Amino acid sequence: MPAVEEHHAELDGTRVFWRSAPQTGTPTLYVHGTPTNADDWTAFLALGGGIAPDLPGFGRSGKANTFDYTIAGYGRFVEAFLDLLEVDRLNLVVHDWGAVALTFAERFPERVARLVVIDAVPLLPGYTWHRLARAWRRFGVGEVVMGSMVERVVRRISQGVNATPGELPDEYLRSWIDHFDEGTQRAILKLHRDGSPDRLAAAGEQLGRIVAPALVVWGAQDPYIGPSFADRYAEALGGPAEVVLLEDAGHVPWLDRPDLVERVVEFLEASE
């Protein structure tokens, strides 16, 4: 298995942390969602190699108030990060709010060789935010709710995230909790407030430009984003897209179904 290494650099005034592991052929960029970080992808990197950054505002990357914590801002970050690493053509894997990287793929579809979309925030019309996100989107209310998310609350919320009964695995939760500081909370609030239904739909208007072969994976028991959006993503993309619906999985499906790691890596390696 490839050895996973850690890296740091300054990018446009923001400290960026990422992990990487050697990979033959086309490099893969893994983009996490909220409120997590590159730790999500350790098993994927260890099996197939690739690159996984902590997005600004999350994990060990910088969390300055001056960063543009919007869909467009993160899309520009992905472009700049790939330029920093001198990566031209790549595979792209996104989960949850990692969907922001799809705006990069829309602008540069020729640079994407293969795409994997896993329980991603819908850059599509018709999405209604779940209850917690609706609270975050309200000024004042969001700050109060976010301030109440101490460890015991986080652990209680985590019991409904996946299909497996009980809390999410402690290692996963520990990574989330250890980095859930004011900077991350601010990033989450700003990103969700940028995610109005109209803004989400507009951000995905050019998904049809992405013609790379795609794998769309969804946990059927995802409490935040219904599985109908798996088919809708597949229909919106411009290339061939296979949908994998996991009946026994939730929002973070590889925790319910560890075999998904191998399935994703096999898909990414299929063209090599």
Per-residue pLDDT of 135-157, as tens digits, reads 999 999 999 999 999 999 999 98
Hey, is 209 helix, strand or coil? helix
Scan for tokens 């609270």, then name that residue. 135
Please give the full DSSP string across 157-171, using - where no structure is assigned. HHTTTSSSSSSPPHH
Query: How much of the chain is in helix, strand and coil states, percent to nearest 5?
Result: 45, 20, 40
Amino acid at 192: H
Q: How many whole angstroms separate alpha carbon 255 and alpha carbon 248?
A: 11
DSSP state of 264: H
Closest CA relative to residue 96, chosen from 115, 128, 123, 78:
123
pLDDT band at 1 (very low <50, low <70, confident <90, very high): low
Domain region containing 218: 5-269
Give the residue ranges of DSSP H helices in the chain. 42-48, 71-84, 101-107, 131-136, 141-147, 151-158, 170-178, 182-194, 197-203, 228-236, 253-256, 259-269
3-state secondary structure of 58: coil
The pLDDT assigned to 256 comes to 97
Q: Is the pLDDT of residue 271 over 70?
A: no
Q: In a 3-state reduction of DSSP, which class is residue 241?
A: strand
State the average pLDDT for the chain.
96
| Residue 272 clears pLDDT 60, i.e. is over it | no
Spatial separation of the C-alpha atoms in residues 83 and 204, rounded to whole Å: 23
Confidence grade of residue 221 (pLDDT, cut at 50, 70, 90): very high
Query: Three-state SS for 70?
Result: coil
At which residue do the structure tokens 């004011």 appear?
182
CB burial class (10 A; 0-12, 13-18, 19+) of residue 148? exposed
Cβ-proximal residues to 85 (8 Å cutoff; 6+ apart), any chain: 51
What is the count of structural domains for the chain? 1
Indicate if the pLDDT at residue 39 is higher than 70: yes
pLDDT digits (tens, 9 = 90+) for 74-112: 999 999 999 999 999 999 999 999 999 999 999 999 999
CA 96, distance to chain mean position in Å, is 4
Q: pTM above the 0.85 mark?
A: yes
Distance, CA of 81 to chain centre = 15
Q: Residue 173 belongs to a domain with what CATH number?
A: 3.40.50.1820
pLDDT tens digit string along 109-140?
999 999 999 999 999 999 999 999 999 999 99
Q: What strand order describes the sheet that includes 5-11?
A: 5-11, 14-21, 50-53, 28-31, 90-96, 112-120, 214-219, 241-246
